[in-house]
Structure 1
Amino acid sequence: MKVFDHNVETAKSRYAKLEGDRRPYTDRAEKCAKYTIPMAFPKATDSASTNYETPYQSIGARGVNNLTSKLMLALFPPNAPFFRLALGDDIENALGDDSATKQQWEEALSKLERKITSYMETHQIRTTASEALLQLVIAGNVCVFLPPAEGGMRIYRLNSYVVSRDGIGNVLEIIAKESVAYGALPPEAQSALGESGAVDADRAYDVYTHTYLEGDVYKSYQEIEGAIISGSEQEYPKDKSPWIPLRLKKMDGESYGRSFVDEYLGDLKVLEALSKSVAQVAAVASNILYLVNPNAITRISELSKAKSGDFIRGKIEDIQILQVNKTSDLQITENAIQSIEGRLSYAFLLNSAVQRNAERVTAEEIRYVANELEDTVGSIYSILSQEFQLPLVKRFMIQMTREGAIPDLPQGSKGVEPLIVTGIEALGRGHDLTKLDTFIRYAQVFPEAFQTSVKQGEILRQIATALGIDSSSVVKTDEEVQQEQQQQMQMQMAQQAIPQVAKGAM
């Protein structure tokens, strides 16, 4: 299937054609940002010098930051892999009941998981991933790009790219647009500009990166001023593209998703209006004015100069303080504000305080947050695991294989495949530890059977693997255990022989 021919249509014209379909989504994203964090999704006309209007209420910003933090904790738990590598069906069937070989595979895969997780931390993926999740909560869409050569990760906001999907959500094409100053352009791009005769060293140029599906591969190239940049053509496997367009809420038949804030925009708008009214009334009420009876016998000059405790001739009725008699009205407004804040706090999980303020959080805390996300915000957690985490791991494996950090593993049913698990299973191998703990507690009900029938060394190795520890460094092998037992038997036999030798010598 071929969805695009760059010999017939330029990336710039194609971008302009798809931009019309994107406009309703960017308009909604700007409104959502206005009532939460305005600078998170600026308008296309905004610049670094733009001053954003601060909302009159902070619950929108607090809710967005809190939900982003919880999503980040559940999707990318600290100090633990957010995925697990599993053997393909063909290898599983070939191994059969060979538990020893299976355990060796599990230990090797556990080491690879730790390497990939370390790669993510050293390339500062976590910071960019948090920014991507913030965009998803506010705008509902963001495009993640993992540069094949440089490593790391960057994001494109919704107003910087367009995407086209088929009816079931498969990505057909992506066009990313970025403005780059002439001096910052690579030599190949400057050469392409020279050929087109459009060189101006004082202006910035729009560079379009177009990725489109052709058959089972994605083809990609870069374009500037209608000219293709030499050496920019690339090809990627269909399931391992460095371009990952994300959406928070999937809508069938639509190329873009919907945001979480969009669902509660009505409450945020009303809360903003009420908060603004209360702030304005409070400002008026704080302005103290005195009304003086024009026929008063009280002298204002004496009153203004009087010190505490002085006696002044006058009547108290001569001077009154101007008051805003809106107490009952403000009470109704305050009740409405509290009601809306309660609904929004529940929606953005602001009432939850499961995570402690500590350097390390427990696996149970992460599991609780994962379940809370799944129960409260529907399928958000699940869709991100399949459209964000899984492509991310696959791309990491390609980059690390290219760098020689991990071996080239066969994929699919005949090799090794990454698995992203959600909900109560969200901790990968951490869940294996829970199952092992349950098995041990039940097995110890029968102490004699536990001692004679359970492979205790195998259990220790599986526990170490589930904890992400190299079992070979902490658990003895069966050969080492047998060797130590033989040595102990030899020492016992030697000790028993000493009295016999001594008796024979007498």
Structure 2
Amino acid sequence: MAKRNRKKKSGASPVEIEDVASEYERLEQQRNDFLDRARENAKLTIPSLFPPEGSTSASVRHKPYQSIGAHGVNTLTSKLLMTVLPVDAPVFRYSVSDEAVEDLANDPEQRARVEEQLNQVERTVQEEIESIGIRAGLAEALKHLIVGGNVLLYLPKDGNLKMYRLDRYVVQRDFEGNLLRVIIKETVAKETLSPSVRALIEAPIELPSDEAQDQAKESEVDVYTVFKRDGDSIVSYQTIKNIVLPRSKGRWPIKKSPVMPLRWNIIHGEDYGRSYIDEYYGDLAAADSLSKSLRAAAAAAAKVNPMVNPTGLTRANDVAEAGDLEVISGRAEDVTMLQLNKHADMQVAQAVLQDLIQRLSHAFMMNRSVQRDGERVTAEEIRAMISDIDDVLGGIYSLLAIELQYPLVVRVIDRMERKKMIPKLSSIKGADGKPVTTPKVVTGVEALGRGHDFNKYMTALREVIVPLGEQALGEINVSDFIKRAFVSLSIDPDGLLKSAQQKSSENEQNAESQQQAAMQEMLQSAVKGAAPPAAKAMVEGMVANGQPPE
């Protein structure tokens, strides 16, 4: 779209003009090479991920001749989703700074209370992540990462997570990979726009007559959403026909940016990443070609064509028209079957194909399984899976923890704090009423640390406390130990542990019960001792009044 010099007519409301469409077209030229590779990769795996340019829902999709690519992408996506967003383990955890740990070390009850508050916030955030449909969007995004190497995630201030494939956005970074600009292009129907927006973009503007007629007839418009860096913040706005929509502006700190342009492999100096399929494109292409050849050869070998000697006594029409068990005249020597005699060649092709499938199965982790079937996934199993993924994929989990997990969790926490669904971390206070140093969000392998803490507590209980018995119990705070063990398992101890008032009330009840039992025992002894009737009556009266007999 060429730049246009628009002039407002007198009396028209002022509008802000910015030629985002031209900037998008300029950045689009730098993106096309990566998009073309993504489409080629999709042809060998899942063609629907990156359809050809200009295709519609009715267009015929490319059909690969093998399914190892699609199977591998789905398997790898499942394993990555299990590690990036585990079901029965925390996505993140709060880690208190060293300064706060020193301040809380002298007060075990205060430290347990702070840990309990942080764990409660963690559970609330985890429930919010599950409720806003992040898991479904993330599964689709991981497929795009594996096949295309790039994908954009957008988590607005309200609503669910949105995913944009590579042909829907452009990105610009500096040499170190820091985000400078993201532009999203969406085509929407005019009827879906609000009346105020339609009035703004349809305001009379001096344009050539041909362009004015074209704009009057169009039923769809392109909406550009811009996110660009401004110092230590990310500013955003939307434009339609280069007119900036007045209510679309926003500003966020860089660490709380709502957009997350993800990359599979980072190449310094490039705005986009490289995909995992790029590394195994040769094996996938060879497997697809061999599968096509073997399929054609198998179809040819399965074809049945009798051949009749033209100089023999057997007639070809009789053979062609004969039914089952029908008697025809002729000689067996006149009839033979057409054979390819390519069995040895097909075995060579089959052996090469099996070798390719074995290599691809290893690359896509299709022959590896750490999780037990039908059981709850433990943190240790997730650690083993993460280690396996990092060994095979070259540290991709560490990159996803930095570029995906951390920004996503921080963004969700920021949304929840703005809606007052959780308290701000700076508002968490200790027993003395002073705020605790703001905790930091920990993701990746370190986020599984609470489960590791529980293992430490159980080891201490099994190896130290139990062998020492009463001596160890006299040295530790049992209540604080139980609270920490519950927190390490992400269990809310509220209501599970007895309060001081409940324990005091129970102690009083136990004392009264013991006193009543002692009085009853003394009464029975007096009866057995054949005490005089007067003494028995006195004892019974004292027991009834709750007074111990002398």
Query: With structure 1 as the length reference, what TM-score do the two structures score?
Result: 0.91
Counterpart for residue 454 of structure 2: 433
8 Å contact kept, 2:93–2:447: no
Q: 1 CA distance for matches of 2:299 and 2:507?
A: 85
Bigger CA drift: 56-65 or 177-186? Answer: 177-186
Counterpart for residue 496 of structure 2: 474
Offset at 1:271?
0.6
Offset at 1:489?
4.0
Counterpart for residue 202 of structure 2: 194
1:154 aligns with 2:162: yes
Residue of 384, 397, 406 corresponding to 2:413: 397
Counterpart for residue 415 of structure 1: 438
8 Å contact kept, 1:87–1:415: yes
8 Å contact kept, 1:249–1:257: yes
Bigger CA drift: 198-207 or 37-46? Answer: 198-207
8 Å contact kept, 2:16–2:243: no
Counterpart for residue 337 of structure 1: 353
Residue of 441, 452, 461 corresponding to 2:474: 452
Residue of 72, 80, 90 corresponding to 1:63: 72
Counterpart for residue 291 of structure 2: 275
**Which whole-Å deviations, capped at 9, do the CAs of 1:242-270 have from their partners, x for residues lacking one?**
11111111222222111111111110011
1:43 aligns with 2:59: no
Offset at 1:336?
0.4
Q: Give the 3-state SS of the residue equivalent to 2:495 in structure 1.
A: helix
8 Å contact kept, 2:76–2:364: yes
1:135 aligns with 2:135: no
Q: Give the 3-state SS of the residue equivalent to 1:439 in structure 2.
A: helix
Q: Give the 3-state SS of the residue equivalent to 1:175 in structure 2.
A: strand
Q: 1 CA distance for matches of 2:240 and 2:327?
A: 84
Q: 1 CA distance for matches of 2:84 and 2:40?
A: 27
Q: 2 CA distance for matches of 1:489 and 1:306?
A: 105
8 Å contact kept, 2:405–2:444: no
1:181 aligns with 2:189: yes
Q: 2 CA distance for matches of 1:30 and 1:267?
A: 17
1:96-111, aligned counterparts within 5 Å? 96-111=105-120
Counterpart for residue 3 of structure 1: none
Letter in 2 for 1:429: R
Residue of 496, 505, 514 corresponding to 1:492: 514
Q: 2 CA distance for matches of 1:272 and 1:45?
A: 25
Query: Are the structure 2 counterparts of residues 244 and 471 from structure 1 closer, same or farther at C-alpha, using a change threshold of 3 Å?
Result: same
Q: 2 CA distance for matches of 1:104 and 1:85?
A: 14
Query: Are the structure 2 counterparts of residues 45 and 323 from structure 1 closer, same or farther at C-alpha, using a change threshold of 3 Å?
Result: same
Q: Give the 3-state SS of the residue equivalent to 1:173 in structure 2.
A: strand
8 Å contact kept, 1:90–1:415: no
Letter in 2 for 1:339: D
Q: 2 CA distance for matches of 1:217 and 1:498?
A: 78
Query: Are the structure 2 counterparts of residues 455 and 315 from structure 1 closer, same or farther at C-alpha, using a change threshold of 3 Å?
Result: farther
Offset at 1:453?
3.2
8 Å contact kept, 2:88–2:377: no
1:164 aligns with 2:172: yes
Letter in 2 for 1:446: P
Offset at 1:309?
4.9
**Which whole-Å deviations, capped at 9, do the CAs of 1:87-122 have from their partners, x for residues lacking one?**
344533432322211111111111111111111222
8 Å contact kept, 2:451–2:489: yes
Offset at 1:480?
4.1
Q: Give the 3-state SS of the residue equivalent to 2:59 in structure 1.
A: coil
Counterpart for residue 442 of structure 1: 463
8 Å contact kept, 2:168–2:186: yes
8 Å contact kept, 1:188–1:230: no
Counterpart for residue 30 of structure 1: 39
Letter in 2 for 1:465: V
Offset at 1:74?
0.9
* Aligned-residue CA RMSD (Å): 2.6
Q: 2 CA distance for matches of 1:257 and 1:495?
A: 79
Counterpart for residue 350 of structure 1: 366
1:125 aligns with 2:134: yes
**Which whole-Å deviations, capped at 9, do the CAs of 1:334-353 have from their partners, x for residues lacking one?**
00000000000001010023
1:251 aligns with 2:267: yes
Offset at 1:151?
2.1
Q: Give the 3-state SS of the residue equivalent to 1:471 in structure 2.
A: coil
Offset at 1:408?
2.7
Letter in 1 for 2:81: M
8 Å contact kept, 2:119–2:490: yes
**Which whole-Å deviations, capped at 9, do the CAs of 1:252-299 have from their partners, x for residues lacking one?**
222211111111111001111111111111222222212111111123
Offset at 1:7?
8.1
Query: Are the structure 2 counterparts of residues 484 and 50 from structure 1 closer, same or farther at C-alpha, using a change threshold of 3 Å?
Result: same
Counterpart for residue 78 of structure 1: 87
Gaps of 5+ in 2: 1-14, 206-211, 428-434, 527-534, 540-550
Q: 1 CA distance for matches of 2:321 and 2:52?
A: 55
Query: Are the structure 2 counterparts of residues 189 and 413 from structure 1 closer, same or farther at C-alpha, using a change threshold of 3 Å?
Result: farther
Bigger CA drift: 247-256 or 480-489? Answer: 480-489
8 Å contact kept, 1:192–1:228: no
Q: 1 CA distance for matches of 2:261 and 2:131?
A: 23
Q: Give the 3-state SS of the residue equivalent to 1:427 in structure 2.
A: helix
Counterpart for residue 297 of structure 1: 313
Query: Are the structure 2 counterparts of residues 216 and 52 from structure 1 closer, same or farther at C-alpha, using a change threshold of 3 Å?
Result: same
Gaps of 5+ in 1: 1-5
Q: 2 CA distance for matches of 1:359 and 1:131?
A: 26
Bigger radius of gyration, 1 or 2?
2
Letter in 2 for 1:137: I
Bigger CA drift: 247-256 or 152-161? Answer: 247-256
Q: Give the 3-state SS of the residue equivalent to 1:143 in structure 2.
A: strand
- Corresponding residue pairs, total: 498
8 Å contact kept, 2:266–2:274: yes
Offset at 1:166?
2.0
Query: With structure 2 as the length reference, what TM-score do the two structures score?
Result: 0.84
8 Å contact kept, 1:180–1:207: yes
Runs of at least 4 residues of structure 1 off by over 6 A?
500-504
1:299-378, aligned counterparts within 5 Å? 299-304=315-320, 306=322, 308-309=324-325, 312-358=328-374, 360-378=376-394
Offset at 1:206?
1.3
Offset at 1:85?
1.9
Bigger CA drift: 467-476 or 30-39? Answer: 467-476
> Share of identical aligned residues, percent?
37
Bigger CA drift: 160-169 or 432-441? Answer: 432-441
